[in-house]
Structure 1
Amino acid sequence: MTFSMTGFAALEHPLENATLVLELRAVNSRYLDVHFKLDDALRAFEPAIRELIAANLSRGKIECKVNLMQRKQTNLAPQLDEPLMQQLAAMQTKALAFFPQSRQLSVADILRWPGVVLNDDLSQTSLIVDVKKLVQLGLQDLSASRAREGEKLKALILDRLAQIETLVAKVKPLLPALNKEYQAKLENKLQETLKTIDQDRIAQELVLFAQRIDVDEELSRLTAHVSEVKRILNSDAPAGKRLDFLMQELNREANTLGSKSVSVLTTQVSMELKVLIEQMREQIQNVE
């Protein structure tokens, strides 16, 4: 299946006295690039969330936003983490020994310090389980979104491939006649210009030139590359980088076809091929 690197997912997960809110956004990128916007109470879970994302996605710039929103007030008085406050006091004492003119921590500073105010209703052990479950569901929704977008990209690419095959099928049967016609024109011009030259030598040069302008090999490689693109689109492995390489190869063959062209028809076909290849290349930049 072909996956796009663009997608979006948004989910909520209710807790006893709060709600977890998740947003996942994905855009195209050469590598997997994950950025987090986490609630202060959830920052410790970043490594676990990153591991989940890396296990499910291989490319793309991912923005993961997780918020913890309190839904109602609890009747229990807030608790303070006394060991953490002791550590803060010890650190402040050491710091003031080096910087005696510095301002001491206020009560407001201490209460705002992450982890100082405890919430008995939200156990860290159960919270990480809920967060991981929510992220996993969000990744499933994101993958479904990327799959839908990927199918649209696949359909567009297959349409361009069909047009390329039509162009190749149109020009390939005409090549022998076109080359023969051009060879006859060239022979006439040479005979008019070089009437004293050996006719056998002219015939040999014409055969060599005909070989240089023969594009049958380029058309065969174009057909082979088209078949390989179709095979990759139907595989389950990430396809973006391989498809990008094949677009370069297709463009190379189209350029060679244009440089060897001896007729207006093959020149037009070369230009149309390059337009179609460029359209595919632009879309493939968004394929995972």
Structure 2
Amino acid sequence: MPVYSMTGYASAQLSGAREPAAESRSPASQARLGVEIRSVNSRFLDLSFRLSEDLRQHEPALRELLQSRLKRGKVEVRAGVEAAGNEGLPEPGLRQLQRLAALQDMVIGWLPQARPLGVADVLRMASAEAGSGDWSQELMQLARQALKDLLGAREREGARLVEMLRGHLKQLRDLAAQARPLVPQLVEQQRNRFLERWREAMNAGQQAGGAVAPEAAQDRALTEATAFAIRIDVAEELTRLAAHLDEIERLLDKGGEVGKRLDFLIQELHREANTLGSKSAALELTRISVDMKVLVEQMREQVQNIE
């Protein structure tokens, strides 16, 4: 199953004749129906509609269609009807103009202060009348086509995000592999330092006439070495990090609605990288922790776009 992004765009248009086209003198009788769907990331499915007045009654059907295929994302749907032909400008017919003139005279007769119709008013009314009619079948057909194209765009974007995430997973595994041998080396170095301090304590004790017991100094050195080894041991963090990486890989292979689970695992990766840095006893381990956190943050931005 593919992984879908929540980001995408699709549009579809359809032209056709609509009544009262018989009153028009030219291709102004043609009307064009357009549907656009845009989506961006969101925690939940958030639908909004921008429909022209004559299409608003179809919002429930459009909402049901989108909810059947989309699970997450902020989705905006725009749909409207406009006159086509003559570069998008309607051409009113003679009977249209006569009727508008008669209506204007009647209104002014009752309301002398009313403003006369302008050219823009006439063109707007002619455009609305040219686009009127029953577009229900065509609207749902275009909506299904736009939704199919949107899903295709979201699938392509999702594939790109998966590829980037797999690249980051490989880099994190490489960094973890670099960190593993560093801890035993640090423990051995610190153990040698503690033994050196023990020998110094022995020499100081002999010069002071045996004031320091060899056994006590040695026990103190071993205790400090053990405490240091426990304090800087990151084997558990690296094991959990590897488990999280395996689970992310599994989810990417599985596909489907994995965005929320991936987001949780990214938080866990960030926690392990932070702990790794807090236990760092060497500059190299600190650098690895910083590089891990940079990669995890990049993954977080990408995962937030996955459905």
Do the two structures share a fold, i.e. TM-score over 0.5? yes
Cα deviation digits, residues 166-188 of structure 1 (max 9, x gap): 11112213332222212322443
Cα distance in structure 1, aligned partners of 2:55 and 2:279: 63
1:129 aligns with 2:140: no
Cα deviation digits, residues 80-123 of structure 1 (max 9, x gap): xxxxxxxxxxxxxxxxxxxxxxxxxxxx9xxxxxxxx9999834
Cα distance in structure 2, aligned partners of 1:245 and 1:220: 18
Q: Match for residue 146 of structure 1?
A: 154
- The alpha-carbon deviation at position 206 of structure 1 amounts to 2.3
- The alpha-carbon deviation at position 162 of structure 1 amounts to 0.8
Cα distance in structure 1, aligned partners of 2:198 and 2:264: 43
Cα distance in structure 1, aligned partners of 2:195 and 2:131: 95
- The alpha-carbon deviation at position 155 of structure 1 amounts to 1.3
Distance 1:186 1:248, change over 3 A: farther
Runs ≥4 in structure 1, deviation > 6 angstroms? 72-75, 117-121
Cα distance in structure 2, aligned partners of 1:193 and 1:44: 90
Sequence identity of aligned pairs in percent? 41
Distance 1:187 1:15, change over 3 A: farther
Confirm or deny: 8 A CA contact 1:179 1:262 kept in the other structure. Answer: no
Cα distance in structure 1, aligned partners of 2:191 and 2:140: 71
Q: Match for residue 89 of structure 1?
A: none
Gaps of 5+ in 2: 19-30, 86-90, 97-116, 118-127, 206-211
Question: Among 28, 31, 34, which residue is 2:44 paired with?
Answer: 31
- The alpha-carbon deviation at position 5 of structure 1 amounts to 1.2
Counterpart residue type for residue 67 of structure 2? A
1:247 aligns with 2:266: yes
Distance 1:200 1:22, change over 3 A: same
SS at match of 2:181: helix
Question: Among 49, 53, 64, which residue is 2:77 paired with?
Answer: 64
Question: Among 49, 53, 67, which residue is 1:54 paired with?
Answer: 67
Cα distance in structure 1, aligned partners of 2:17 and 2:162: 44
1:233 aligns with 2:252: yes
Q: Which structure's CA Rg is the greater one? A: 2
Cα deviation digits, residues 211-247 of structure 1 (max 9, x gap): 2321111111111111111111222321222111111
RMSD: 3.1
Aligned length: 253
Q: How does 1:131-210 map to 2 (within 5 A)?
A: 131-189=139-197, 192=200, 196=212, 197-210=216-229
- The alpha-carbon deviation at position 192 of structure 1 amounts to 4.3
Cα deviation digits, residues 31-56 of structure 1 (max 9, x gap): 11111111111101101101111111
1:263 aligns with 2:271: no
Confirm or deny: 8 A CA contact 1:182 1:262 kept in the other structure. Answer: no
Cα deviation digits, residues 111-153 of structure 1 (max 9, x gap): xxxxxx9999834xxx323222211111110011111111111
State the TM-score, normalized to the length of structure 2.
0.73
Gaps of 5+ in 1: 79-107, 109-116
Distance 1:244 1:187, change over 3 A: farther
Cα distance in structure 1, aligned partners of 2:164 and 2:131: 54
Q: Match for residue 6 of structure 1?
A: 7
Cα deviation digits, residues 242-266 of structure 1 (max 9, x gap): 1111111111111111111121211
Confirm or deny: 8 A CA contact 1:34 1:61 kept in the other structure. Answer: yes
